[in-house]
Structure 1
Amino acid sequence: MDAKVVVVGSLNMDLVARAQRLPRAGETLTGDSFFTAPGGKGANQAVAVARLGASVAMVGNVGDDAYGQQLRQALLTEGIDCQGVSVCPGVSSGVALIVVDAASQNAIVVIPGGNGLLSPESVSRFDALLQRAEVIICQLEVPSTTVAWTLARGRELGRTVILNPAPASGPLPAEWYAYIDYLIPNESEAEALAGVRVNDQESARRAAERLRQLGAGKVIVTLGGDGALLVDASGSRHFPAPRVQPVDTTAAGDTFVGGFAAGLARGLSEDEAISFGQRAAALSVTRVGAQPSIPLLKELAP
């Protein structure tokens, strides 16, 4: 079966430490627990798509180490098409060092490893996957030249193109916007991209309007516990978030993006797909870890 969704992006092994609070500069803390789990924004989103009811293929790189084997196997176990996951000789796999505090906030350091070697040529080898897809998803944990090529190719093919601009520290290249059907930043990413301070729904709307002026088709700003805001040519619509007690917010955004894409691929309306992604993300924050926290379709209320 052809994959309806193709994710081009990162695969990381997450090394997660929990502590009562995040350490200050130069400080050593005694933590509460430690575990490893497959992660990376690209792989997380692919797992979310698969668990939430749509067929998906992953295009990315791992290193020739034990982590790389584990990362690839984790995707295969989910039924994800991994023909586009390549092994880079002599390079480590991507690693994310994550500290989570008692309030479920996190601080993350990412070492790209094989992700940093994902080139446009690497992705073009699997162009047949893009041609057969309905939805193509990118993030910013692989080289920008590769993201740019994939976005442009998705637009050329007439596919639904989603960019989750994470992590973002500044504006996107101006030419990217015209390729994007759905730009999905969180509050801090919207602020970095638009240059507009974002601290509530109204400022999120202004930032999203600015991003649309730059050329993005539609913008969905995720607002954590405050829900999500869709801004398009007809105006803005707010989607309240389900109320939950968060335990770990790692991969909540990835779960939303994957759930939204899965919803579109399954034929849900835009509004239905946003609400579907929100329900999945809300359940994910009640669990620990990245991929381990992503729910199955059967777990979501209708």
Structure 2
Amino acid sequence: MGQVTVVGSYVTDLMSRTPHLPVPGETVLGGPFQMGPGGKGGNQATAAARSGSSVMFVTKIGLDVFGDEAMRHFEREGIDVQFIKRSGEFATGTALIAVDDQGENDIVIAPGACGTMTGLEVEAAEEAVKKADILLLQLEISLEAVEAAIKQAVRHQTPILLNPAPYLAVPDEWLEHIAYLTPNETEAKGMTGIEIVDRTSAQKAADSLHRKGVDTVVITLGKKGVFLSKGLGIGKQIEAFPVNAVDTTGAGDAFNGGFAHAISSGMEIEDAVQFGQAVSALSVMKEGTAVSMPSIKEIKAFLTSRL
């Protein structure tokens, strides 16, 4: 069992089904409504914990009912909460999510407390980074906070898995320290300027990232699977597991949490990608984000049936 530390966002998801996603100015009657734990950091921490890792989560939430429910969720999942800061000044973040009949979604995030995380607050949680087999980061918190976590990981020689989502321009010098980078097609284009339309363009994008210092590039391609590149010109396409998607919200988080668990547990990279894809496939077959993350029992049964 690996030790995964997640430094990232937590928001409460407020989700409703809708026949179709509204266009600007349109009101759509939807339902039912569902509330639950979310945020990229919270989703990934939950996915890693349910996959079997010991997880420490570094985030910031409010002293409100949403924050109370967040703490209950983490404790139910066995996630170490000692480095979660609670703020009396800022409310717990929220995400307003609409999911249509095809499982596609629109999301509006109000970051709240987690959006105010500072570098100093992350530095106060250095022990969590020091103890980790892998540090999992996203870009839903301030770049100052992300940079503080990267510096700690470099100091303690902790491998870094960066999921560059939602896409933001990041300093190239960060990439020199990234062991695993997991952009989707949009994020890869933002980081490289290369539109991914086939294997050749995926390799060009991966090579651009390798030249900036990234060790392993894992480009997630949704239903088309994953493009894995372990070095310049050394890439391969790994097909996705076909499933009937109910709700694709959080699919990328599911992959990253499962992948982080697999890497921290010592799996070979191709097996880790397959594991992450299994977690993602199972998650989209249920509604919700963190609550849709599968258990290790479900993941093992799925992989046994599909491989």
TM-score category, normalised to shorter length: over 0.9
Secondary structure of the residue that 1:81 maps to in structure 2? coil
Distance 1:199 1:17 in 2: 32
Distance 2:12 2:215 in 1: 33
Secondary structure of the residue that 1:27 maps to in structure 2? coil
Secondary structure of the residue that 2:37 maps to in structure 1? strand
Of residues 151-160 and 288-297 in structure 1, the stretch that sits farther from structure 2 once superposed is: 151-160
Q: Structure 1, residues 125-166: CA drift from partner, whole Å, max 9, x if none? A: 121111111100110010001111211221221111000011
Q: Structure 1, residues 161-204: CA drift from partner, whole Å, max 9, x if none? A: 000011004x3211111111101011111111111112333322
CA positional deviation for 1:121: 0.9
Pair 1:243-2:242 in alignment: yes
TM normalised by structure 1 equals: 0.96
CA positional deviation for 1:93: 0.5
Change (3 A) 1:106 1:202: farther
The answer to whether the 8 A contact 1:162-1:180 is kept is yes
The answer to whether the 8 A contact 2:123-2:152 is kept is no
The answer to whether the 8 A contact 1:20-1:32 is kept is no
Alignment of 1:264-275 (within 5 A): 264-275=263-274
Distance 1:277 1:264 in 2: 10
Pair 1:15-2:28 in alignment: no
Pair 1:99-2:110 in alignment: no
| Partner amino acid, structure 1, of 2:196 | V
1:174 maps to what in 2?
172
| Partner amino acid, structure 2, of 1:85 | I
Pair 1:200-2:212 in alignment: no
The answer to whether the 8 A contact 2:4-2:264 is kept is yes
Secondary structure of the residue that 1:261 maps to in structure 2? helix
The answer to whether the 8 A contact 2:103-2:246 is kept is yes
CA positional deviation for 1:20: 1.1
Distance 1:42 1:125 in 2: 18
2:298 maps to what in 1?
299
Distance 2:186 2:44 in 1: 19
2:182 maps to what in 1?
184
Alignment of 1:100-179 (within 5 A): 100-169=99-168, 171-179=169-177
Of residues 204-213 and 258-267 in structure 1, the stretch that sits farther from structure 2 once superposed is: 204-213
Q: RMSD value over aligned CA atoms?
A: 1.4
- Percent identity, please: 39
Distance 1:167 1:123 in 2: 20
2:252 maps to what in 1?
253
Distance 1:230 1:158 in 2: 23
Secondary structure of the residue that 1:83 maps to in structure 2? coil
The answer to whether the 8 A contact 1:155-1:180 is kept is no
Distance 1:207 1:102 in 2: 33
Secondary structure of the residue that 2:83 maps to in structure 1? strand
Distance 1:175 1:113 in 2: 29
Alignment of 1:42-57 (within 5 A): 42-57=41-56
The answer to whether the 8 A contact 2:207-2:231 is kept is no
2:229 maps to what in 1?
231
Distance 2:41 2:269 in 1: 22
Change (3 A) 1:248 1:92: same
CA positional deviation for 1:215: 2.0
Distance 1:10 1:116 in 2: 7
Distance 1:240 1:102 in 2: 25
Q: Structure 1, residues 70-121: CA drift from partner, whole Å, max 9, x if none? A: 1121011100000011101121111011111111111111111001121111
The answer to whether the 8 A contact 1:223-1:229 is kept is yes
Of residues 60-69 and 230-239 in structure 1, the stretch that sits farther from structure 2 once superposed is: 230-239
TM normalised by structure 2 equals: 0.94
Change (3 A) 1:99 1:199: farther
Unaligned runs of 5+ in 2: none
Q: Structure 1, residues 200-234: CA drift from partner, whole Å, max 9, x if none? A: 33322222221222222211000111110111226
